């Protein structure tokens, strides 16, 4: 099992390595994007822009790394088939709803600038989070006896990831003076719904 897991981790490193070919300073760019709080405007420089191809590779790494850590979380309590369902279903569902939610709000509100800002927040968090999850999966794979510790680290990370996402999303929407109606819609579709859906999937499998 450890050999298979390490091979899977290597695939994740391959995705990151392929993304880094065009950006030698990729990791510093991802860190800048992650901590950035200002909305996208004319000062949005090329030093923090990431091309579509690179972003796709990093998004794939996030899905892959999240699925891998969810598998590591579930494999000690579930059979391999159920653990794979949790991993694939949880990662794909979370990512899909994330991509759909902010686009729905922007389309309904008619705020074109909002979709650009929320898209930037979404991408910056996923790109940075995917690298952390991959490193966690690597250390977890070679230290399976520390399952309880790494399970706790994963849960804490996902909670912090959620809190940071809400804070940054609310900061952008409030800066743009979006109506309270769209603010509630944003919270429900982008922030609350993905967590509820993924939690429900995991709860049903563990039950």
Q: What is the pLDDT of residues 34-90, one digit of tens each?
A: 777 666 665 555 555 677 778 888 888 999 999 999 898 888 777 788 888 878 887
Full DSSP string of 106-170: HHHHT-HHHHHHHHHHHHHHHHHHHHHHHHHHHHHHH-GGGHHHHHHHHHHHHHHHHHHHHHHHH
Per-residue pLDDT at 101: 67
**% of the chain surpassing 90 pLDDT:** 9
For residues 126 and 43, the model is more confident at: 126
CA nearest neighbour of 58 among 13, 109, 101: 13
b/e sequence 28-59, b meaning 16+ C-beta within 10 Å: ebbeebbeeeebbeeeeeeebebeeebbebbb
- Judge whether residue 128 has pLDDT over 70: yes
Overall average pLDDT of the 141-168 stretch: 85
Q: 137 falls in which pLDDT band (50, 70, 90)?
A: very high
Per-residue pLDDT at 80: 81
């Amino acid at each position: 099992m450890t050999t298979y897991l390490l091979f899977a981790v290597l695939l994740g490193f391959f995705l990151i390595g392929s993304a880094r070919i065009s950006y030698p300073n990729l990791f510093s760019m991802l860190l800048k994007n992650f901590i950035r709080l200002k909305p996208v405007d004319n000062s949005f420089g090329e030093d923090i822009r990431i091309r579509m191809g690179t972003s796709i590779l990093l998004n794939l790494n996030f899905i892959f790394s999240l699925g891998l850590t969810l598998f590591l979380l579930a494999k000690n309590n579930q059979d391999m088939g159920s653990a794979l369902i949790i991993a694939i279903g949880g990662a794909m569902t979370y990512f899909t709803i994330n991509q759909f939610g902010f686009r729905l709000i922007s389309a309904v509100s008619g705020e074109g600038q909002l979709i650009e800002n929320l898209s930037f927040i979404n991408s910056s968090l996923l790109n940075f989070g995917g690298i952390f999850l991959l490193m966690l999966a690597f250390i977890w794979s070679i230290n399976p006896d520390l399952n309880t510790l790494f399970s706790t680290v994963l849960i804490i990370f996902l909670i912090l990831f959620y809190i940071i996402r809400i804070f940054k999303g609310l900061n952008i929407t409030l800066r743009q003076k979006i109506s309270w109606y769209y603010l509630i819609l944003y919270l429900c579709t982008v922030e609350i719904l993905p967590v509820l859906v993924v939690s429900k999937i995991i709860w049903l499998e563990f039950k």
